[in-house]
């Protein structure tokens, strides 16, 4: 049995939570709705394949502009380290804004941003996010 009814989940909430945290995710069925309940670490593993890729461009004044491929975010810093840090901050800020109005942002042109938003929220640390940005030199 892969799916539990929502009624069964309600009755066995503590046991279901223990199962999700210590054993495996649970699929839940409620009338026509289907849900997936999992430990956040599993979600992090599932999102591992989603990477942050960015292009770096050296400006005529020597500053560095960085452009994220997956989400339309661009930042500029005096050097590569500062630009990457600013981009990491922008990613987390964007993820928080996106999540605060998830119903709106997750349906239109920005639907493909969902895994990156969830990944950034799970990580929740700009220094860790910055360390995950894979940079390449070239034009933006």
List pLDDT tens digits, range 92-129.
999 999 999 999 999 889 999 999 999 999 999 999 99
**The pTM is what?**
0.89
Tell me the three state secondary structure of residue 25.
Answer: coil
Alpha helices in the chain (DSSP H): 6-11, 13-22, 40-46, 80-100, 102-105, 114-123, 126-132
Tell me the three state secondary structure of residue 32.
Answer: coil
Name the architecture of domain 3-38: 3-Layer(aba) Sandwich (3.40)
Q: 97 vs 21, 24, 43, 73, CA distance in Å? A: 28, 31, 20, 13
112 DSSP assignment: G
Sequence spans of domains, the chain: 3-38, 47-137
Residues 63-89 have a mean pLDDT of: 97
- State both tokens at 136: 């390449």
What is the tens place of the pLDDT at every residue in 31-40? 999 999 999 9
Q: Is-same-fold flag (3-38; 47-137)?
A: no
Fold held by 47-137 = Double Stranded RNA Binding Domain (3.30.160)
């Amino acid at each position: 049995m892969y799916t539990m009814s929502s009624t069964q989940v309600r009755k066995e909430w503590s046991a279901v939570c223990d199962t999700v945290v210590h054993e495996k995710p649970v699929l839940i069925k409620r009338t026509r709705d289907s849900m997936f309940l999992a430990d956040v670490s599993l979600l992090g593993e599932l999102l591992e394949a989603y990477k942050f890729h960015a292009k770096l461009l050296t400006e005529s004044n020597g500053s560095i502009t960085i452009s994220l491929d997956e989400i339309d975010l661009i930042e500029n810093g005096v050097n590569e380290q500062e630009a990457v840090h600013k981009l990491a901050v922008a990613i987390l800020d964007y993820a928080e804004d996106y999540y605060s109005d998830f119903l709106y942002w997750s349906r239109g042109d920005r639907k493909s941003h969902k895994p990156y938003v969830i990944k950034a929220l799970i990580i929740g640390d700009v220094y860790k996010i910055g360390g995950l940005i894979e940079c390449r030199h070239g034009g933006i």
